[in-house]
Structure 1
Amino acid sequence: MTKMKPGLTLLSVILLAGALSACGGNDGNEEKSSASPSQSETAEGTADAKEVTITLSTDNSQDAVNTANAYIAAFEKKYPNIKVELETRPGGTEGDNIVKTRLATGDMTDVFFYNSGSLMQALTPEKNMVDLTNEAFQQNVIDSFKSTVSYNGKVYGAPTASTMAGGWFYNKKVYADLGLQVPKTWAELIANSEKIKEAGMTPVIGSYKDTWTSQLVVLADYYNVQAQVPSFAEDFTAHKATNAGTPAMLRAFEKLQELHDKGLMNKDLLATTYDVGLKMLAEGKGVQYPMLSFATPAILQNYPDQIENLGFFAQPGDDASSNGLTVWMPGAAYIYKESKHVEEAKQFVAFVASVEGTEVASTVSKPTGPYLIKGASIPDDVPSLVKDMLPYFDNNQTAPALEFVSPVKGPSLEQITVEVGSGIKDAKKGAEAYDQDVEKQAKQLGLSGW
């Protein structure tokens, strides 16, 4: 995804091979004891320390800004000699380009929040980022996350938020009124959608005015792909497998085409925005919305009275016995290699990557999945739709989205999925177009086999 745009860059968690459910680790005291010497030496009480100002860049979504400001306020209170100035940038492809341009021109902030996974690898980490492999705070970070911010064996980032999942929001009230059950297979999802359509409501919300949202059906299907072809990510990266030539991967594009062919999405999907899509869902005018769970804070903020009417389920495959959830890793905090305040920047990143940091973040942004910091927990008052995801983690029924297990991520997927989802291209042609798109990216990365 490009995303996540709201990330999308979208913009994927993972289990995280099991990592997510492993959120029980060090307690707060253990986490604190892992602070680096520089942290301890500049802790509260060093009022006579020289004042330093560092800069931080994040995307301009309200949730991202709220979270960054919460980190800054708590950090500056704890370390009064370090001030943090916040800069914002657009989300999506425009924001990606700004980050790349600023790195190329030597004008990046000291710390920047950005995607993990394939998009991070495209930033030439060895040239542009400080190596954080041996920092003490990495002891608090769950290992499955580290692989998503690593390059050539070195770790360059720390998680800035909770995990996310790709799946389907649904209106529980409408489901109950129509006597529907959460689907465990794609055929059941289509059957539910047909009943919703007969009842006069939009079964599946399409918000293709914001093109990044068109990718979810394809990307959220990756749990089903890896369940059938465990080696797909490795083979795809080595150019031994393709989207169009792998039936399990092609099936993801076919699902998107089927939603269009059966008339299950709103007719004005090309003019409908993400914000309107959330409104349709909350009001029950649209009943199911393929989306990242990161949309939860926006729903909670704008439709607090409807939040408990909404639920979340994994995108079904064709076999109920292997139903599972595709997960997105959160973005990460990175330090610009040419920063003149690397030590202070490390202190800030260490704070973000602590139990205290997750507690600060959760006061302004409810987590959309488990945190990746040992000892961190999800507040009891998170919406029930977030709790809908926990059984998948508890039962080890999760898999990372493809962009977190392969560096190959084409920039044009969102345009291709708009075409498939609106009937301009069929599934096979869409998958073939994406194979051509990723080839350009793979060659730019210099991957073997391309």
Structure 2
Amino acid sequence: MKRRQIGLAVLSAAALALSACSAGSLGSSDEDSGGGKVTLSFLTDNQPETVKIAEGLAKDFTAKNPDITINVETRPQGTEGDNVVKTRLSTGDMTDIFMYNSGSLMQALAPQKNLTAVDEFADKLDDNFKKSVGSDGKIYGVPFGNYMAGAILYNKEVYDKNGLKVPTTWDEFMSNNAKLKAAGVDPVIQTYGETWTSQLFILGDYYNVEASTPGWADQYTKNQAKYATTPAAKAGFDHLQEVHDQGYVNKDFASAKLTDGLNKLAKGEGAQYPILSAMLSQLIADNPGTENKIGLFAIPGTDAAKNGLTVWAPNGLYIPSSTTGDKLAAAKKFLGFVASPEGCESLGKASQPTGPYAVSGCKLPDSVPQAVKDMQTYIDKPGASGLALEFLSPVKGPALEQICVEVGSGIRKSDAAAKLYDEDVKKQAQQLGLEGW
């Protein structure tokens, strides 16, 4: 599964596909026009929201830089689009600027060979994002979009009614669950009718793994660390088993789907839902008036002093090494615009922010949902957020969601699940040809 590996294909599948080219790309040309004017080509995927943002950025940039025209082109999503990007890079036929994944998938593009370093923008970027587009000490991209979190959405009214505080340790979380169950509210919502949603207690817990075992991702990639033999990594499976065994999940967990879970949370039938923060958009659309009713907190670990949020970095904008001369100067000017408060404002006009910006100096509008504001507090606090494992390692076994469903359903114990997942990972790592496997 391509980005985001946790099931972001689900998001892409929900979007309506566009035609092969957006309106802004019709009749475009890669040739410079006369009179010192420059025309740039800009490739994005064809998800409608992506195209809307890209065309908004291009329009607002050209309004301030009338000598530079940017024509937006589109490619398919998923594996087909991935192949388009890699083929065009390998043949030197890439557009002047393109949007692509950040993190380990970006590393697979061989950035030192195929991309242009843009270190001049490093001081404008959040540290987590710099890690996601960095290689060999150089920075290769700027953010296209907002951060997303793997966290727990919670109903603030239910919390207030039961006198609960946001937990910063797992023990506090479980204590809250006991009180919620006694009050007749489902403490933890699970929706295994859509299996990808089962993974959050593991993937959203990676901040805690790194906090406990610094550098674990690198050891994991080299086959020097395992889920089954690293207590901090296995804890996600333990937590999944624990909430089931204590009876803290909704009775229909096996058949409930994402929409059911979001509606339960909005209505207060369930108190907490471990899920991707990007699902806020659907929750609010389906339940108007809930913008300030739903909050967000990080999946807690063992140490309150090290409480922090696991985040998924935005996609990146990149300049291929085939872009040279006046086009290169213009392309860097565009990336500089995107990585600025003006660029964030343009992005926010095109699409309501569903997470914090990865650009220094960019502020969220007051109109964003409360859960997004909650995310921002983690980003603002030094060291209180960290990248999801997929941005730090290319290794992710394809069977994780099915294994999580088994653990969360009481079918398989956490110890056995961690060992099974280590075997699943081994197969995938060997397919990637990684050393040490």
TM-score interval (norm. to shorter):
0.7 to 0.9
Q: 1:101 aligns with which of 51, 76, 83?
A: 83
How is 1:413-424 mapped onto 2 (pairs within 5 angstroms)? 413-424=400-411
Compute the RMSD of aligned alpha carbons.
3.4
Q: Which moved more, 1:295-304 or 1:220-229?
A: 295-304
> Amino acid of the residue matched to residue 375 of structure 1?
G
2:250 is aligned with 1:266: yes
Q: Which runs of 5 or more structure 1 residues have no equivalent in the other structure?
A: 12-41
Q: Residues 298 and 117 (structure 1 numbering): CA distance in 2 closer, same or farther, change over 3 Å?
A: same
Change (3 A) 1:318 1:239: same
Task: Give the whole-Å Cα distance in 2 for the aligned partners of 1:436 and 1:152.
Answer: 30
From 164, 174, 178, give the equivalent of 1:190: 174
Aligned to 2:15: none
Which residue does the alignment assign to 2:116?
Answer: 131
Pairing partner for 2:74 from 87, 91, 94: 87
Say which of 276, 287, 312 aligns to 1:328.
Answer: 312
* 1:282-301 aligned within 5 A: 282-301=266-285
The question of 1:430 aligning with 2:403 is answered: no
Deviations 1:141-187 (A, max 9, x none): 34542221133444332111232332111001111222222222223
* SS class of match (1:168): strand
Residue type of the alignment partner of 1:426: K
Match of 2:21 in 1: none
Instruction: Say yes or no: does 1:58 pair with 2:45.
Output: yes
Q: Which string of whole-angstrom CA distances, capped at 9 and with x for unpartnered residues, describes residues 301-344 of structure 1?
A: 44341111111111112333433222332221234556799636
Residues 371-382 of structure 1 aligned to structure 2 (within 5 Å)? 371-382=357-368
Cα distance between partner residues in 1 of 2:142 and 2:123? 11
TM-superposed deviation, 1:446: 4.3
CA contact (8 A) 1:63 1:297 kept: no
Distance 1:421 1:252 in 2: 11
Structure 1: how far apart are the matches of 2:177 and 2:64? 52
CA distance in 1: counterparts of 2:96 and 2:370, whole angstroms: 37
Aligned pair count? 409
Match of 1:215 among 181, 186, 199: 199
The DSSP-based 3-state class of the residue aligned with 2:60 is helix
State whether residues 137 and 354 of structure 1, in contact with CA within 8 Å, keep that contact through their aligned partners in structure 2: no
1:269, 1:86 → 2: CA distance?
42
| Superposition TM-score, scaled by structure 2 size | 0.80
Aligned mate of 2:210, from 217, 223, 226: 226
| Structure 2 residue aligned with 1:15 | none
Q: Residues 87, 103 of structure 1: CA spacing in aligned structure 2 closer, same or farther, 3 A cutoff? A: closer
Alignment match, 1:353: 339
| Greater RCO (CA < 8 Å, at least 6 residues apart) | 1
Equivalent residue runs for 1:402-421 within 5 Å:
402-421=389-408
Q: Which moved more, 1:169-178 or 1:112-121?
A: 112-121
Distance 1:440 1:110 in 2: 37
Q: State whether residues 111 and 140 of structure 2, in contact with CA within 8 Å, keep that contact through their aligned partners in structure 1.
A: yes
SS in 2 for 1:243: coil
1:249-296 deviation digits (Å, cap 9, x = unpaired):
111111112223333333444543333332322222232111232333
Mark the CA change 1:87 to 1:306 in structure 2 (over 3 Å): closer, same or farther: same
Structure-1-length-normalised TM-score: 0.78
Is the 1:281–1:288 contact (alpha carbons within 8 Å) kept by the matching residues of 2?
yes
2-structure distance, mates of 1:395, 1:121: 26
| Amino-acid identity (%) | 45
Contact 2:116/2:320 (8 A) holds in 1: no
Residues 1:211 and 1:85: Cα distance change in structure 2 (over 3 Å)? farther
Secondary structure in 1 aligned to 2:292? helix
Contact 1:234/1:406, CA 8 A, preserved across alignment:
yes
2:107, 2:411 → 1: CA distance? Answer: 32
